[in-house]
Structure 1
Amino acid sequence: MSANRSSAVMAQRAEPVDSLDDFPTPPWATRALLRFLRGQGEPLHLQHAWEPACNRGYLARVLAEDFDQVHATDVHDYGWPGQDGVADFLIPWGQDAPDVDWVITNPPFRLGAEFIRHALRYARRGVAVLVRMSFVEGVDRHDTLFRDMPEAFVLPFVERVVMWKGVLLDPDVPIWKVDKKGAGKLEKPTSATCYAWLVWRRDGQGVLECDTRFSRIPSCRLELTRPGDYPPLPDHLRKPQGGLL
């Protein structure tokens, strides 16, 4: 990681936790993107990346496995020591902007289009965002983003990417769930939401590639999961002693 501690950046506003889209990114989902980019000939080990919604660092730490340098910022301080600064990505950064080849992030859904447009101002090579598949719909996003700046790749996952608000969960570790009647049982965490990486990329002359290609990310969660990827299960999701509330 490489920190940018300039006073101009550090002085930017921070938002309270309850106003944020706090959905930590499973590390395997980021590794799937990096494997795809390497397969496209990207020399990631020579490039620099910026994660502007770094949360607790789960995505940024995986980027650091491949990229030469990773800059990590967020509008909120989640207490992760690798965060370079508390800063709103959507400000005019000017000379304080990190010098990067890629911007890669899991952006707030409501600000996703703004994040992408802003990221394209700073990323020399490309931008990749993890979004719900429904993000590709919508007249406003079409008119303000996709019509004039279409993505180069749409990469949906064929298996579900489990993301829960405020916590990173291992889909193989059961959590304690309580139904409306107050009865509890252990269930593996799941998700009804489909996710995809959208990738914008520039050619050798710096021009955005506009021929959108669709390529599914095959099942790879088990293959791309590493020891230590997931934090311990929070107490409120553990089975109570004796199994009773």
Structure 2
Amino acid sequence: MSKQNTSHAVMAQRYEPKDSADDFPTPPWATRGLIEHVIGDVEDLRSLTCLEPACGRGYMTRPLSEYFGRVDSADAHDYGYAPIRDFLTYPYEAQSHDWVITNPPFRLAEEFVERALVVARKGVAILARTVFLESVGRYNGIFKDMPPSKFAQFTERVPMVKGRVDPKASTATGYAWFVWEKGANEGHPRLMWVPPCRKILERDGDYSSASN
């Protein structure tokens, strides 16, 4: 009988079926890291709107609401938190929101970027595995003609657990923020790092249910 490989690298791999909701909520501190260390100009965001189109139970919406004047949320699946709307088919108007920020299903991330760039007036940010940078298909589909203005790699691991957020979880998977700021550094992406910030940016209540 062969011995199961339980190394961190293998155990951290995510294999989701094509019809999966890909329900891996984002720890709120990772969203605050985007605002505090990548987007910046926090005070200016108070007058702007944001759309979180894959909100799940609201774990990303809640920290976004700490910064933006208004955050609209939806999801293609029913989590009891927001309206059920498939971002790729729902008729959002072009440039209806200043920003679109989300952690999309990995298999649909490229389509989310393309759609978000139509919906957003100012910018798009998606949280994705670092390996999203790879593949000839994604290069030809978005990166060659629509490269992000910023690629911000987390220096700390962002643990994501299926169906919940867990302060004790760990992962071997690297994550980064991919940011498109319209009119900024077109064709010349800026490489950035999200510095160690988890302890500073975690808040009381972050790991309670956002839908309660």
**TM-score, normalised on structure 2?**
0.85
- 2:76 aligned residue: 75
Which of 177, 193, 198 is the aligned partner of 2:178? 198
Aligned 8 A contact 1:200 1:208 in 2: no
- RMSD (Å), alpha carbons: 1.9
2:114 is aligned with what amino acid?
R
Residue 28 in structure 1 maps to residue 8 in structure 2:
no
Residue range with higher mean Cα deviation, 144-153 or 33-42: 33-42
Q: How much does 1:210 deviate?
A: 2.5
Q: Name the CA distance, whole Å, in 1 between partners of 2:204 and 2:43.
A: 26
What do the CA deviations read for 1:59-113 (whole angstroms, capped 9, x no partner)?
A: 0111100000001010011012xx1x10110015155x78210000000000000
Cα 1:38–1:154 change in 2 (3 A) is closer
Residue 218 in structure 1 maps to residue 195 in structure 2:
yes
2:79 is aligned with what amino acid?
Y
Query: Which structure has more RCO (C-alpha within 8 Å, separation ≥ 6)?
Result: 2
- 1:89 aligned residue: 87
- 2:111 aligned residue: 114
**3-state SS, counterpart of residue 193 of structure 2:** coil
**Structure 1: segments with no counterpart, 5+ residues:** 1-17, 172-188, 233-245
Q: Identical aligned pairs, as a percentage?
A: 48
**3-state SS, counterpart of residue 77 of structure 2:** coil
- 2:53 aligned residue: 52
Q: Name the CA distance, whole Å, in 2 between partners of 1:194 and 1:93.
A: 33
Q: Name the CA distance, whole Å, in 2 between partners of 1:111 and 1:38.
A: 24
Aligned 8 A contact 2:28 2:59 in 1: yes
Aligned residues: 191
Aligned 8 A contact 1:48 1:100 in 2: yes
Cα 1:146–1:218 change in 2 (3 A) is same
**Structure 2: segments with no counterpart, 5+ residues:** 1-18
- 1:175 aligned residue: none
1:194 is aligned with what amino acid?
G
- 1:229 aligned residue: 206
- 2:14 aligned residue: none
Q: Name the CA distance, whole Å, in 1 between partners of 2:185 and 2:87.
A: 21
**3-state SS, counterpart of residue 74 of structure 2:** strand
Aligned 8 A contact 1:55 1:78 in 2: yes
**3-state SS, counterpart of residue 118 of structure 2:** helix
Aligned 8 A contact 2:45 2:67 in 1: yes
